[in-house]
Structure 1
């Protein structure tokens, strides 16, 4: 893992949080780093600044500020035009034409068909087939990576807005916050007792813990005995009833379409979101195969 971290640092000029999380699975991290390095920095038909801006567009569909901030820096390091970062209205038409495929792949990939590809490969500012393939690989990669970031709760990098900053309790003799030569002026971390936001948990003795575990085991045993009283048919009916209730709840939820200003400039048509394409009891016009 240490060698992989070294490689990641040399590739990205930082050891980002995603790499650190994936470090718990070295085999996967090795494949991930080689794949991402190839599609972003390896041989390919797309210019390097295009690659990173496509990554920004993909992350924007999922409102993943973490990836957007990382790719902004990479975009500028590759000589990208800074005016592009002001929003989609400032980018070349060729990249704008890719946006329909971006939002479809992000939210309703089953709607993608050959007409979307043909639209890109014909007319003014057309894409070559190799460029389309490269762009779609980038979009799919960063769509899935955004899900990984959210699923693992990855925080912003330290140098990004919203990144975690370690709070320091500066000595009263040093109000300017500057380090002095005296040990008394060295900042010390804020202790829990000085932090009003830290909740003090009551101490639990070992005997209380044992009693709690025994009580929990007894409850689990009683629940398992109760479940054995029901027949298989009754269990199926109960499951279907709960499933139908959850489906009704999910269908009644309104999607969130409000987008932060720093993300919204990379998002067009924020109301285009995921929709269930195969609801039970309804006839779908889209031929799909869904694993139950």
Structure 2
């Protein structure tokens, strides 16, 4: 394995250890008047104004704006934080009826344990092979638990599905994955988009004939290659605050035809047995060399 020089170490620290400086997106409902409309109501007594859910984008921006100053940290010595617990029953009503049947209000509320403030820093619609409404999001949270005097920043990301109900667009599913800031700089090729493509579609699937230059626009990465099957491929990644690249879409094009979204699963289609990659192994050495 090739050793990294001082410049490489510096770039690793810049990429993986620094928190986000992106602008906050969930800045609606900055006054107490909005929350006062619901402050005396339980989650099953709340009816959202229809203008909050007219479009998928409105639904999500308003949902995260409601949650911005929601607090479930078990009490802080400095007194009330933000809008305290008031936002949670409001936010719960942005979920679809079916989703609420799967996730009770108490379960929903407890999923925010330790969180005192939420900033939405990434939100964009992503292609959905099932023709549904799907978004990617990333949030920056201020967290702290009872018994700890200090708060700290946490970062999470995931995907959100929406459907249209009679009252407007509602969240029908939401995934959440916490980001780590130690594994990426010390271990693993699977945090880097180019390495992911080279390993999975090159080493595993033997599909790469020629890699093309990566196109980076903001926090998006488009990684292209020409395949041994004669087709061109494009993999779209988004870079998280911790520097990790997350795949959000795959496309394939034959000759001069249009790009068609695909869903290849190299772990299932190209590996005949389960592999465990460990630091210093031959395959990892190939990627880092």
- The reply to whether TM is greater than 0.5 is no
- TM-score range (shorter-chain normalised) is under 0.3
Structure with more relative contact order (C-alpha pairs < 8 Å, separation 6 or more): 1
More strand by share: 2
- Which structure's CA Rg is the greater one? 1
